[in-house]
Structure 1
Amino acid sequence: MMTTPFEAFSFAKRIPSTPSIGSTTVTKPDHIHLSFGFAAPHLFPIEELSQAAYEAVSLHGRTALQYSGSGGPRKILEWIQNRSLVHGIQAELPQILVTYGSTQGIDIAARILLDPGDHVWVESPSFFSALQAFRAAEAVITSFPIDEDGLRVDLVENALLEARRQNKPIPKFVYTMPTYHNPGGVTLTTERRARLAELAETYNFFIVEDDAYSELNFTGNKYPPLYTLLPGRVIYLNTFSKIIGPGLRLGWMIADRRVIDKARLLNLGGSIGVFTQEILAQLLDRLAFQEHVDQLSQHYHKQRDIMAEAIKSSFGDHVTFHLPEGGFYIWLRFGEAVNTSDFLREAAERGVSFVDGKSFFAKPEGYHYARLCFSYVSEEQILRGVNILADAYFAYEEQRLFGVTKQRHL
């Protein structure tokens, strides 16, 4: 029987193209993924989660598996409320919305605040999934550089002054990762936080504060969440992905009640992962959470130091980077003439992946940067992976400069 092929069709224009981020193809059994922004699997609380899952089924399964779930979702809201107080955030339960990770929170914020053509201001670089969400919302994206103290708030202020003077659009919101920035690793200073909050109040825009890494603190230095400075104009996002396990796909949003009410309208299927919330509630009842977080921070702190030393040893003065106070990432800066995309494949063929810099920018720039993740891999893999990456880079450099491949010399 003859069949007629489908006619050509088009997708919605608001859906952006989504190229592969980083070189993550496994080319060898022992491939080293410095590209993966994953948590360390050996630190997952497996035994506690196993018991929590058993109790969720045996004690609450017949209600927890219904649409509205059992008592777990409310316990999770109360846990978020109480844990937020540790960081100075005071919120009533109706101000908290559980989400599918913080990335869904970014998407929700974009969908409830943006109409096509509205303006969003971001850091440069910024989290690539956030950029995709804003493109899908058909927003006009303007980016502002970061330095070792975080977002250049002075440049944001100058742009706001100029926009008002010329009667140009003010952003609907500024998206920022102020603490242990992904990918930059930098942290916004207390002074800049205060000024950004003042600008949001003066110019009447929102701040979307992505705080996914703040629990992973290596130094003990404390920074006030932007939400504490301007609760009525900050949408605060956080996640269990970095502190329990990303496979849970649970995070949360804290905002003004009117914002949360709008966000709830987008949950067409009802509450988020109610059975998963039941398991997590059982886990948090038995987990010594602060001890758990301290263990995570100590481990990732050690991983950071190992990677930093490996970079210095393998790359010498060919790269610079800011030493992050927390989080998962080191952001490498190469010479201006280097294009890190050009040795992605070479690195992958040698057995290591990383994320090239251009993936984190709203416009074509950032080619001489690269993001490395120290959380997912072992100490031995960090040392070996950084050395392999350096080999790939120096082979690229010799080819670029001289047209031949030579052994590297530091």
Structure 2
Amino acid sequence: MTDTDSDGLTHLYSETVRATMDGGTYGAWRSIAGADAVPLSFGFPYPDSFPNDALVKSAEALVAAEGDCALQYGGGEYADALPELIASRARDRGIACTADEIHLTNGATNAIDTVCQTFLDPGDAVFVEGPTFMGALRLFRNYDVEIAAFDVDEDGLDVEAVAAALEARAAAGETLPTLLYTIPTFHNPTGVTLTADRRARLLELAETYDFVILEDDPYGQLRFDGTEPAPIKALDESGRVIRVNTFSKTIAPGVRTGWTIADEAITAQFDRINAGGEPSFTRGLITKYAEDGRLDRAIEALCAGYEPRRDQLLESLEARMPPGTTWSEPDGGFFVWVGFPDGVDAETMLDDAIDRGVTYLPGTFFYPDDRGAGHARVSFSHTTPEAIDEGIAALAGAVEAAMPTAEADD
């Protein structure tokens, strides 16, 4: 054994991997669980929402219709038809696109990674919401870029703070962003929705300062209240918006099929860089499953299932949480962002919360810096309304125990 073998092949890892290898593995947050704890940490669909029987029948029908073709590398006609199905559904939401502008991926995270591979070099800057999807943060770190996070309020990303930062960087000759990553509708983790005027302003800034908007929309069709603002991609006339979406929240996470919508020239690069990443049989299965309006009916049923869970979570927070607690009130999606009273650290409190019977994700998971200690993401998607109330009762007890003594006695 040589000296270099003492650490295996670590010395041959890329510089980026060596710089980030102590940061844990994406998905390690899933270990936040207790045998008897209510799982308000997971942004997973509830199990009864899965269309098991319909998917089995669709698979049988697909094989009956296409035989061996459905199981070959390229798939059959149903697999080939999926990009047009996606484009048609995007046009229904106001996005002018064709099947040639669709790039299929192995889930939305793979789609985001494909965009990163195409656009990012070490030292580039990426602007994000603060807080934002922790999986995206993990991907951006892999590319050795600067990540700058901007506050989110009840109307979504603080776009004027972004504008001020862009102006200051331009004046100082500093690095301007290559990408701005946003989850504008039912944001993860806060649940808020970016207003229509902020969407338009953000696109104006992208054109002025020459960056790409990466619009991630996994939850947009899961709306219970209000009217959807136009997707940012629907406002895009200069090709600066790349839209990412997935079937994970509208069919099931296990289908692992996502996509991008971008101009044909960009999509051609995605096709070249990320070739063969999506399973052909699953592509055909999704197309078969979506026939005759079944996917739309399924989404309606999902909204009907998630809405009472959202309502229960908000009611339980109102009834049970101690004074000084705040929370978002989303019109759809999976998540509520909870702010705890002063002095309560969500990460420090987590073990006690699990012992009391509830899990959540601390707010620090969702920032590229040291913010978020006083917040938590709470999901209403994965469990029953009755369990949600039990979980919030446990969370309230943990918060009260964690509050500074004088404040807790008030």
Q: Structures share a fold, TM > 0.5?
A: yes
Q: Secondary structure at the match of 1:258?
A: helix
1:208 aligned onto 2:195: no
- Alignment length, in residue pairs? 399
1:383-398 aligned within 5 A: 383-397=389-403
Q: Secondary structure at the match of 2:151?
A: strand
Deviation per CA, 1:56-98, whole angstroms, max 9, x where unpaired?
2333241122111111222211110111111101112111011
2:209 and 2:33 map into 1 onto residues whose CA distance is 48
1:393 and 1:143 map into 2 onto residues whose CA distance is 27
What is residue 252 of structure 1 aligned with on the other side? Answer: 259
What is residue 109 of structure 1 aligned with on the other side? Answer: 115
Q: CA deviation at 1:335?
A: 2.6
Amino acid corresponding to residue 390 of structure 2 in structure 1: R
1:86 and 1:220 map into 2 onto residues whose CA distance is 18
What is residue 85 of structure 1 aligned with on the other side? Answer: 91
Give the one of 3, 13, 24 matched to 2:15. 13
What is residue 223 of structure 1 aligned with on the other side? Answer: 229
What is residue 315 of structure 2 aligned with on the other side? Answer: 309
Amino acid corresponding to residue 177 of structure 2 in structure 1: P
1:198 aligned onto 2:197: no
Gaps in structure 1 of 5+ consecutive residues: 403-407
2:346 and 2:33 map into 1 onto residues whose CA distance is 19
What is residue 75 of structure 1 aligned with on the other side? Answer: 81
Change (3 A) 1:56 1:164: same
2:209 and 2:166 map into 1 onto residues whose CA distance is 8
TM value normalised by structure 1: 0.92
1:185 and 1:325 map into 2 onto residues whose CA distance is 8
Gaps in structure 2 of 5+ consecutive residues: none
Change (3 A) 1:360 1:21: farther
Change (3 A) 1:177 1:68: same
2:363 and 2:137 map into 1 onto residues whose CA distance is 14
1:262 and 1:215 map into 2 onto residues whose CA distance is 28
TM value normalised by structure 2: 0.92
Kindly indicate whether the alpha-carbon contact (under 8 Å) linking 1:237 and 1:254 is maintained by their aligned counterparts in 2.
yes
Amino acid corresponding to residue 177 of structure 1 in structure 2: I
Q: CA deviation at 1:409?
A: 8.2
Range with bigger deviation, 386-395 or 369-378: 386-395
2:184 and 2:385 map into 1 onto residues whose CA distance is 28
Deviation per CA, 1:162-204, whole angstroms, max 9, x where unpaired?
1111111110010000111000111111111110001111111
What is residue 27 of structure 1 aligned with on the other side? Answer: 34
1:344-363 aligned within 5 A: 344-363=350-369
Deviation per CA, 1:325-353, whole angstroms, max 9, x where unpaired?
11000000113422100111112223321
Q: CA deviation at 1:380?
A: 1.2
1:255-294 aligned within 5 A: 255-268=262-275, 270=276, 272-294=278-300
1:186 and 1:304 map into 2 onto residues whose CA distance is 13
What is residue 401 of structure 1 aligned with on the other side? Answer: 405
Q: Secondary structure at the match of 1:265?
A: helix
Alpha carbon RMSD of aligned pairs, Å? 2.0
Q: Which has the higher helix share?
A: 2
2:315 and 2:380 map into 1 onto residues whose CA distance is 12
Q: Secondary structure at the match of 1:238?
A: strand
Q: CA deviation at 1:32?
A: 1.5
Kindly indicate whether the alpha-carbon contact (under 8 Å) linking 1:23 and 1:354 is maintained by their aligned counterparts in 2.
no
Kindly indicate whether the alpha-carbon contact (under 8 Å) linking 2:323 and 2:341 is maintained by their aligned counterparts in 1.
no
2:158 and 2:55 map into 1 onto residues whose CA distance is 42
1:357-372 aligned within 5 A: 357-372=363-378
Kindly indicate whether the alpha-carbon contact (under 8 Å) linking 1:335 and 1:368 is maintained by their aligned counterparts in 2.
yes
Range with bigger deviation, 135-144 or 55-64: 55-64
Kindly indicate whether the alpha-carbon contact (under 8 Å) linking 2:170 and 2:176 is maintained by their aligned counterparts in 1.
yes
Kindly indicate whether the alpha-carbon contact (under 8 Å) linking 1:236 and 1:254 is maintained by their aligned counterparts in 2.
yes
2:86 and 2:34 map into 1 onto residues whose CA distance is 41
